[in-house]
Structure 1
């Protein structure tokens, strides 16, 4: 019997707002689509958390023996700004005086670099919006032919009211009523072209100054943001597929529009299970570049920021993220990351200790029951916090066995070791950096000693020694930062 047949997974479906038993369309196979980044800036922390959650889910399905086609797109055109006339990549290209594809290349490379540093598995397919312009035009023509879209002054809009009149249910995912959608519609550029204010763009006519443009039956323009995901998900996964994921901020209007577009083309619901990750906060406040309460993933790893007291490794940050359920709000702070760092080190120390444990003829602990609890946690909507609590039960096992206070048989030790490796490395995607963490710990100790020496020198007005410590560390690529909470350091 295949492993996946012996496990019953329940996942929370945003469409029904309930946990459901997961039943793939095709036995042993899963199609999963996750909305990827719009590559006009450095990938932000909220994106990383969302992609990390689906990386974990992808890893678990693979471990269970499923053949998974995981599609995560790159939005390199068509993501409209609030004026509904210019996409973000064109805007950034104009600001930086670069070609749009230079912007795309620059930030796609950054995206891949960050995900690699956080030990992500690559998706099966990573399609781009610009690579599917023809398919998007074909989809628009199909929606027009079905009477659910209309051309206006070189642009094409989806007719939301007509869609609902013909049996559609715009708002089915976000649970918004049409009156609410209409009342919350902002007055934006292009509204005069629409039949109804809630209609959304499938194709936008390009102004003369617009950089990214393609020919179409309606004139030169560019696709709307929502259409690309409809086209690429169904092209690679079929008219109906298993799982569609993304951040909860995409539920409306992006995912709502995807459903409407797909039903307008095929008259079928495109997705069986919609999954959404929750938001991130920083020091209990909403992250915002305008207020300065914002931090990039690379800044966490380098320590080059004014928010955290020190740098943190990618393994620690990943472990920290896994300690919260993907549907829970996650708050970043120095205190929380430092606590996670200690837990991460204990876990990795236990992984190293496993291979040095001695065995006996019998076990004083029930490893099979513990293993079943680990699978039970993951099968309950991928509950990584509960899984981690079970892993720390195993850390206690390891420590008491190491101290000779408990015994374990050879077969149970193999079961314990294999299960720990599966969940720590294969599923959670953590990397065993025990040696690196030990080195980091020693560096922290040496740096604290130098920081204390420098403080003593400054207290004694020995400015020469204080400057010498600072300058020589700088030559070694270690920057000291003096703040109201004391001195911290970052390694360049």
Structure 2
């Protein structure tokens, strides 16, 4: 029997503003779409957090036994600078500045995106479609919307008619905005603006002669609107109505609002049952932004090549840090927060590695089965990873008590505990045992073993001052020595 039959999963649905019990459209199957990156620069750490949240969600759905089709797109055309209708395509602008073909820009930053996500131990999505690979599908949707009277063509561009749509539908229901309020707060149209209303958005933009990225269409050469591509790709691979649509909170309006309008105008039905939105990442209490210098790239965290952090941090430590906050909460990155997460990560891994050699007794003081269900309860409550992690550290406490002989665990419970910890730590949270470069880990082990040997020789020579100095200074660096009957071992705090 698959786990989803015995575990009731609740998801916070942004569209309804409340948690709802998850019921997929097709039993045992889940269709999930997440808005992917616009590949014109190195992937932003805040975007990594969003994708990491949905990687964890993908992992948990799979763990529950669902067959998941996870679609995450690549935006390689049609995303305008500042998301303004009269702006310049971000990829075309980058290509012009660097004197490259647009697809060279796309290839470079798509590779960077995949490389960073691989370091973070992401599972690849089931399908990763590109906007440029679905121009035909986008044109067909535009035709459908035009035929139904919800769009208009002017000077080679096609715009979605928000006011007409709102006569029979509700534009703004996801973000809680009212069209009349939007109209009241909008500047007067300038003579140069060809849209009927400022709220109307582009489905297709006419390409000016200097515009590099262009495709033929019934309305002339041009390129698709940013919002349209996600409607085309999500419905192509998941159907006109699918289970979950995810993305960052910043996409709720206008991007996701426009997706809903396009789908309802085209197909006459709501496209998504559960809308999910991940919150932002700040740094040192402020918004991350290149313009202010309050910004750091994932690769700079891994190498330590930055002026913000005191040392490099491994991808699994950063992942563990991000999992310690609920995906809907704002998370603040700082040097102290990463140092604390590194200590917690090492404690968790050390405890997991202790399980195999724990002594067993006739009965258990630790109710492992009840503990395991508490872990599931946390994840079933809208994927509450911080509560799950708190439960994991409850297990860490029991493991250490059993190791010290202060508690007992039966053999079958020990095996059950090892299996459950493996599932929650590695399969669901997506952490990896090695928190860094293998070579670096081996070098560190070699250096510490050398110091342990020097300390042993000092003690044999009754040079306790040197012996204590080695132990104490290693402790200051976060390396704890443990003397036992079989010699001295070390652990990283």
TM-score, structure 1 normalization: 0.88
Q: Please name the residue that 1:196 is paired with.
A: 197
Instruction: Please give the alpha-carbon distance, in whole angstroms, between the structure 1 residues aligned to 2:272 and 2:252.
Output: 13
Q: Assess if the C-alpha contact under 8 Å between 2:314 and 2:435 holds in 1.
A: no
Instruction: Please give the alpha-carbon distance, in whole angstroms, between the structure 1 residues aligned to 2:421 and 2:437.
Output: 20
Q: Assess if the C-alpha contact under 8 Å between 1:345 and 1:437 holds in 2.
A: no
Instruction: Please give the alpha-carbon distance, in whole angstroms, between the structure 2 residues aligned to 1:93 and 1:344.
Output: 41
Instruction: Please give the alpha-carbon distance, in whole angstroms, between the structure 1 residues aligned to 2:355 and 2:204.
Output: 58
Indicate how the Cα distance of structure 1 residues 255 and 434 shifts in structure 2: closer, same or farther if over 3 A, else same: closer
TM superposition shift of 1:2: 2.1
Q: In the TM superposition, what are the counterparts of 1:136-155 in structure 2 within 5 Å?
A: 136-155=138-157
Indicate how the Cα distance of structure 1 residues 126 and 391 shifts in structure 2: closer, same or farther if over 3 A, else same: same
Q: Please name the residue that 1:240 is paired with.
A: 241
Say what the alpha-carbon RMSD is for the aligned residues: 1.9
Q: Assess if the C-alpha contact under 8 Å between 1:354 and 1:398 holds in 2.
A: yes
TM superposition shift of 1:116: 0.1
Runs of 4+ in 1 over 3 A off after TM superposition: 183-191, 434-447
SS in 2 for 1:126: coil
Deviations 1:139-195 (A, max 9, x none): 000000000000011000000000011x11110000001123224546899962111
Q: Please name the residue that 2:23 is paired with.
A: 23
Say yes or no: does 1:298 pair with 2:299.
yes
Q: In the TM superposition, what are the counterparts of 1:21-420 in structure 2 within 5 Å?
A: 21-82=21-82, 83-85=84-86, 86-165=88-167, 167-185=168-186, 192-420=193-421
- Any stretches of 5+ residues in structure 2 without a counterpart? 449-493
TM superposition shift of 1:419: 0.5
Indicate how the Cα distance of structure 1 residues 389 and 213 shifts in structure 2: closer, same or farther if over 3 A, else same: same
Q: Assess if the C-alpha contact under 8 Å between 2:301 and 2:312 holds in 1.
A: yes
SS in 2 for 1:192: coil
* Residue-pair matches, total: 446
Instruction: Please give the alpha-carbon distance, in whole angstroms, between the structure 2 residues aligned to 1:441 and 1:186.
Output: 63
Instruction: Please give the alpha-carbon distance, in whole angstroms, between the structure 2 residues aligned to 1:446 and 1:150.
Output: 71
Q: Please name the residue that 2:473 is paired with.
A: none
SS in 2 for 1:355: helix
Q: Assess if the C-alpha contact under 8 Å between 1:84 and 1:188 holds in 2.
A: no
SS in 2 for 1:398: helix
Deviations 1:239-288 (A, max 9, x none): 00000000000000000000000000011000000000001100001111
Instruction: Please give the alpha-carbon distance, in whole angstroms, between the structure 1 residues aligned to 2:115 and 2:190.
Output: 36
Q: Assess if the C-alpha contact under 8 Å between 1:137 and 1:216 holds in 2.
A: yes
Instruction: Please give the alpha-carbon distance, in whole angstroms, between the structure 1 residues aligned to 2:336 and 2:438.
Output: 18
SS in 2 for 1:135: helix
- Any stretches of 5+ residues in structure 1 without a counterpart? 448-492
